[in-house]
Amino acid sequence: NAGVTQTPKFRVLKTGQSMTLLCAQDMNHEYMYWYRQDPGMGLRLIHYSVGEGTTAKGEVPDGYNVSRLKKQNFLLGLESAAPSQTSVYFCASSYPADFTDTQYFGPGTRLTVL
């Protein structure tokens, strides 16, 4: 099993450009999450999904959109990138029937917006 994978690993954007980050998991997990990690701030939840076709806002959703068209994929979109969105983005998944709700994280995407 590959676990949780993220594409791309690195990206540089200019202000105003758009892009989509792809997260894929092969563990048949129901729940998927997008976080951003900034120095000194830990991880903050952007959006999450509790199943195919569902999405919900997290702590810092502004400027981002998400879609969960297939159970194994969770896409994070930036419609008009801003320098404040420079960050490392992590995707995670979990299986609610597993009582521990342990989250499994992808390797991260390092995004720089100039």
The residues binding other proteins (CB under 8 A) are 31, 33, 35, 40-45, 48, 50, 56, 58-59, 90, 92, 99-108
CA dist 45 and 36 (Å) reads: 7
State the minimum distance, in angstroms, from the CB of residue 78 to other proteins. Answer: 21
Residue placing its CB nearer to other proteins in the complex, 37 or 72? 37
Q: What is the DSSP annotation of 45-82?
A: EEEEESSTT--EE-SS-TT-EEE-SSTTEEEEEESS--
The nearest distance, CB 40 to other proteins, in angstroms, is 6
Q: How far is the CB of 1 from other proteins (least distance, A)?
A: 15
Q: Which of 81, 74, 38 lies closest to 59 in space, CA to CA?
A: 38
Give Cα 4 distance to the centre of its chain.
11
- Pairing of the two strands 109-113 and 10-13: parallel
Cβ distance to other proteins smaller for residue 16 or 96: 96
**Six token digits for residue 71:** 């159970």
Residue number with CB closer to other proteins (5 or 67): 5
Which residue lies nearer to other proteins by CB, 38 or 79? 38
Least distance in angstroms from the C-beta of 74 to other proteins: 14
